[in-house]
Amino acid sequence: MWDEDDLGAALRTELAQRTPPRLRAGLADAVTRGRRRRRRQQFGAALAVVAAVAGVATVAVSAGALASDGQNVAATETTPTEAPWPRADLPAHSPHATWTPAPSAPPPAGWPIEPVPRCEIPDSTGRNLDSVRADLPALQEQLRQAMAAVADDATVDLPYETRFPPTGPNTHEAFTYTADVSDDGGTGSVTLTFGRFTGDPLTAADDQAYDMANCQAPKRHVLANGTVLQIYDVAPSDPFASQNQTLRIYRPDGKLYSLSVRNFGSPDFATNPEDTAHPHRVGPGRPTLPLTEGQLAELGLAMAG
């Protein structure tokens, strides 16, 4: 079993700084634009149904639609830049520190370097997570279909598996699955992990609501079957002022999916002669994430379904 300290220390450090060689294949190119538009229209229709069930009418752009929990959220016919979900009804936390880029790996000229408020991660000593190994061929096909509908003109590589050995007594190996996402803005990546949680989805989502050192509550959407999707604000990290945005999916059967979009990918790494399994991070990545928050929300809905 992984406790959160182990998972946070091992996986977040590795995900922020290391990527093994990728398996290249242009998958999104094989799917037509019409299919992508149809999937985006289905996503917009699903949001309209949520609003209709809540008892409100929607138009092309409505600023007062209600989500399933009764909070205000904007809805559009196309995928929005931001996730059209309300924030969870949880209090904001007071910052205990700020983050700025490390002097040893500053961001490119022109990138903002203002201090970012960071809040304490909740005590998770009593929380255990299983890191579950995925069926890689099935995951590759599922991600292929989902990303083709979400990432309009991007090229999405096949996801590859990375294994992290146990970090100590009472810990198990962990697995992540990463795919490069490239478009005219450069190359970023999306990383998935699979685990489990105990209790009901809403309680687990509340318990993990501030896991990303965020000070504001994450945005949240609850499906009719009880599945909870929770999307966190973009989080900066070292080196190179890296960007990461995470969405977690809590299913009623206790399965936990985590999707993280990052502004760097395989081109930002170089071979480490001393440890070929763990390349050096040498590049700052692209200026923006390869998916908007709205696209990440759509990707989460596709993976949850």
Residues 6+ positions from 44 with CB-CB distance below 8 Å: 75, 76, 77, 78, 79
Tell me what pLDDT residue 61 has: 25
Q: Name which of 1-5, 105-109, 204-208 the model is least confident about.
A: 1-5
Yes or no: say if 260 and 248 are a contact pair by the CB < 8 Å rule. no
Q: What share of the chain is helix, strand, coil (3-state, %, to 5)?
A: 25, 25, 50
Yes or no: say if 113 and 143 are a contact pair by the CB < 8 Å rule. no
What value does the CA radius of gyration of the chain take, rounded to a whole number of Å?
19
Q: Which residue has the tokens 């990527």?
A: 19
CA atoms within 13 A on the CB side of 260: 23
Question: H/E element holding 46?
Answer: helix 33-53
CB atoms within 10 A of CB 12: 17
Question: With bands split at pLDDT 50, 70 and 90, how would you rate the model's confidence at 128?
Answer: low
Residues 6+ positions from 153 with CB-CB distance below 8 Å: 28, 183, 184
What's the pLDDT tens digit per position in 133-164?
A: 999 999 999 998 898 888 878 899 999 898 88
Yes or no: say if 278 and 20 are a contact pair by the CB < 8 Å rule. yes
CA distance linking residue 124 with residue 219, whole number of Å:
21
Task: Judge whether residue 296 has pLDDT over 80.
Answer: yes
Mean pLDDT of the chain: 76
